[in-house]
Amino acid sequence: MLVAGVDEAGRGCVIGPLIVAGVMMEEDRVESLKLLGVRDSKLLSPKKRERLRWEIEAVASSCAYFEIPPHAIDRVVEGGVKLRRLNYLEALAMARVIDELRPDLVYVDSSDVDTSRLAQQILRVMRWKPQIFCEHNADKVHPIVSAASILAKVRRDRIIEELRRSHGDFGSGYPSDKKTIEFLKKTLLEGGELPHFIRRSWKTVKRLLMHPKLAME
């Protein structure tokens, strides 16, 4: 039986895309991921994640990615209740990844508080109909989801690093990062158009746009 895990990276960032990744393996090989040291990507160093990416791709039957750019995120967030809209967009991306992999069984790390709602949203738009389990903290419980978490994080980290090389060091891209906030303020103070990689629908950016004086503080 083919088993897959699906997870995302970059959901809460104000900078850069949201990446959804999926990993598929034969069920009897999934436990081998533990021997490689696969676990929740947030517990691993960037160097360790990069090494594990190569090893995961080498042992997996198949891997798949889907990138949601900032402008697509902005469009759905501005269209309704932020989390509900973003959850649905993420469900669409996860469905695309699962359709590409075509597993018999899939575990999904759920960002929706209602795990059954996410499962139904994914199934509703998929052509392929596997058995699906959406769980909170699935990346901490299922090695196959941990593997997907690592691939998503590495893919996003590479994109962020390319943006830093082109536009300067803006930190992690999260609203809680002072360096990220300073980058946003500096960009606005210089009077330039916000770069395409910034999520304009995030409260952090909206607040600075509505109250320019905040950028001077």
pTM assigned to the model? 0.92
Q: How confident is the model at residue 166 (pLDDT cuts 50, 70, 90)?
A: very high
Q: Are residues 90 and 186 in the same domain?
A: no
| pLDDT above 90 as % of the chain | 73
151: phi then psi, degrees, rounded to nearest 5? -60, -40
Distance CA 170, CA 108 (A): 31
Among 163, 182, 199, the domain-final residue is: 163
pLDDT of residue 198: 95
**How far is it, in rounded angstroms, from Cα 205 to Cα 209?**
6
**pLDDT given for residue 84 in this prediction:** 67
Over residues 67-126, the pLDDT tens digits come to 999 999 999 888 765 556 889 899 999 999 999 999 999 999 999 999 999 999 999 999
Domain CATH code at residue 183? 1.10.10.460
Same-domain status, 143 and 158: yes
Provide CB contacts within 8 A for 11, sequence distance 6+.
18, 86, 90, 111
Asked whether residue 64 falls in the same domain as residue 101, the answer is yes
Quick one: 43 and 84 in the same domain?
Answer: yes
Residues 138, 36 share a domain: yes
Neighbours of 199 (CB within 10 A): 25
Predicted local confidence at residue 189, as pLDDT: 76
Q: What is the mean pLDDT of residues 175-190?
A: 87
Per the model's pLDDT, the better-predicted residue between 208 and 124 turns out to be: 124
Q: Are 16 and 107 in contact (CB under 8 A)?
A: no
Q: What is the mean pLDDT of residues 181-192?
A: 82
Report how far residue 20's alpha carbon sits from residue 6's, in angstroms, rounded to the nearest whole number.
Answer: 7
Number of domains composing the chain = 2
* Judgement on whether residues 99 and 14 belong to the same structural domain of the protein: yes
* b/e code 134-149 from CB counts within 10 Å (16+ = b): bbeebbeebbbbbbbb
Q: Give the pLDDT score at 80.
A: 64
**Statement to judge: residues 159 and 181 lie in one domain:** no
Whether residue 215 is predicted with pLDDT greater than 60 in this model: the reply is: no
